[in-house]
Amino acid sequence: MPAYVHVNLRIIDAAKQAALAPRFQAALQDAGGRILHFGPVARVLEGDEDPLPMAGVFEFPTLAQALAFYNSETYAPIKAERQEAQQARMFIVETPS
């Protein structure tokens, strides 16, 4: 069952974000993931809390692969840099079987 990592973010250091983006993309692809969307939030439809201005959706074949990527040694240094480059909210959903 596919799993989708959703991230809502604000870039706080554009230079750091630009430097880590190619490494993130390569690590994501190596882990079996792919980027479905990364860009500005188009419109708020519901809710009291304003979203951060950017959003990303990353697809993995399974929840286990998504979690393995997030907790991997490969992603750990990228995650540390990402946390310096952006303010983010992140969660995973899994499609039903």
Topology of the domain comprising 3-41+52-94: Alpha-Beta Plaits (3.30.70)
* DSSP-derived secondary structure for 41-59: -----S-SSPPPSEEEEEE
Beginning with the edge strand found earlier in the chain, give each strand of the sheet holding 86-94 in spatial order: 34-40, 54-60, 3-11, 86-94
Q: What are 39-91's pLDDT values in tens digits?
A: 999 999 999 888 999 999 999 999 999 999 999 999 999 999 999 999 999 99
3-state SS class at 79: helix
Delimit the domains of the chain by residue range.
3-41+52-94
pLDDT of residue 96: 84
Entry pTM: 0.90
Contact 87, 51 (CB under 8 A): no
Task: Give the pLDDT confidence score for residue 22 in this predicted structure.
Answer: 96
Q: Which residues contact 24 (CB under 8 A, 6 or more apart)?
A: 78, 82
